[in-house]
Structure 1
């Protein structure tokens, strides 16, 4: 294997024959900084939840998965053998509820990514319909920055931009509908797409996980306040109580925060997939 990239959470390797090995670690990243404390089983939980969604959504869009089992033994359970993609430099975000950076933009502009929204909305309000709010993958600040749909058109062309928007909303709606039946609200999600060797637009990276989405318990949803999070928002909220300035190095998480984070990831995995998490899968 040839190591080709280390991200905040995942590592990429090139395998003999040109396939890509995407390995999810137990690292946690918030505000674009990897924290020094791992969360046990997190890489496996993300990988297996993504694999479940990739399979469920395969009729909607092609994805990069070749195999979740034909991987080196040392990475079993937390790695995916993938097709190489030429990644599109846009974070494709669908929002069904007003929260996070979307809420901040709305309070400032009454819009998110140029999408005008009704006045009077509060934190965690459900939007009239899901909206496409892309951000940059690369910026001079090192952080994601909002783009308008017109910006995406200028970057990739109208046809591809339309497809990115439509697929992002379709995947979000399909995921949100399934999750809600199991007591989970998917408030928003981030997707990444690339072009495969045949020129086909393909879903890559991860899909509808606790790292890429906001998950809330539906029976506790109350607009106008912070929601209980089954995702890494819990870690973001904790980090803000430490006095950390959101620049490297990040703060170490105490054991109780690590365990609470793990339990949230396990619970949302079990609710969405209907499978009991088995520690033997988390190699």
Structure 2
């Protein structure tokens, strides 16, 4: 097998006509890979993505060929998948105001060119989910930047842009509906989309995981401050307490107690969503 790409979290190998997507225990914040791994993270992300791909199969097809036809050393953390021509746009849906979306709103009163009403605060629920795409910055080459819908139209064409927005919002809507029944709010999520050889748009990469989404405990949600995160925002908040780190590589080592607390959040969201005990 040939290693085609090593990303912040995933390694992509060519295996004949297929790809092998291998999820590591690496973790990144602010586009910086930290030197400390989170045990079981790769398996949790892979298994949760597979669960979501199945839940949303009637919304949009996905790239999965097999989760078992993979080398033994990668069992549980690898997916054999179809090659897609990936769309070079980060497709993001937001139903609540947080993170970079909040900062953009505070500056412009809008996110990705979508105007929002005045007076919203951190954690505010939006009247309806919005599509807030960004650019895709290569690893180590800067940060993703917000795009307007017109920017996406210019990049991929109007028909494709309309489809990307429609699919992204429907994936978010369905995901939020499922999660709400389990006591979890999905504040926002990022999905990866690509085209198969026959032109079909499909989901790739990961889906509705603690790396790609903001998960909040619904019974503790209260606009106006930090929520109880069930995702890697916990790690971002920890890093903000450090002095001397300017959010550039190399990242700081993660203390054992923070590693354990981060892993516990990944396990909790997996168990609450799927109903299965993580072992």
TM range (shorter): over 0.9
Q: What is aligned with 2:266?
A: 265
Is the aligned partner of 1:46 residue 2:45?
A: yes
Deviation at 1:138, TM superposition (A): 2.6
Q: What is aligned with 1:236?
A: 236
Q: Distance in 2 between matches of 1:122 and 1:191?
A: 25
TM-score by length of 1: 0.96
Q: What is aligned with 1:147?
A: 147
Equivalent residue of 1:128, what SS?
Answer: strand
> Unaligned 5+ residue runs, structure 1?
279-283
> What number of residue pairs does the alignment pair up?
277
Deviation at 1:47, TM superposition (A): 0.2
Q: Distance in 2 between matches of 1:72 and 1:59?
A: 29
Matches within 5 A, 1:43-122: 43-122=42-121
Equivalent residue of 1:48, what SS?
Answer: helix
Equivalent residue of 2:90, what SS?
Answer: strand
Q: What is aligned with 2:28?
A: 29
Q: What is aligned with 1:187?
A: 187
Contact 1:21 1:81 in 2 (8 A): yes
Deviation at 1:141, TM superposition (A): 5.5
Equivalent residue of 1:55, what SS?
Answer: helix
Is the aligned partner of 1:221 residue 2:221?
A: yes
Q: Distance in 2 between matches of 1:95 and 1:168?
A: 10
TM-score by length of 2: 0.98
Contact 1:193 1:201 in 2 (8 A): yes
- Root-mean-square deviation (CA, aligned residues, Å) is 1.0
Q: Distance in 2 between matches of 1:250 and 1:63?
A: 33
Q: Distance in 2 between matches of 1:157 and 1:59?
A: 25
Q: Distance in 2 between matches of 1:7 and 1:18?
A: 21
Matches within 5 A, 1:135-174: 135-138=134-137, 142-174=142-174
Q: Distance in 1 between matches of 2:251 and 2:21?
A: 24
Q: Deviation digits for residues 116-164 of structure 1, max 9, x if unmatched?
A: 0010000000000000000000379611100000000001111111110
Give structure 1 regions of 4+ aligned residues with deviation exceeding 2 angstroms: 138-141
Q: What is aligned with 1:9?
A: 9
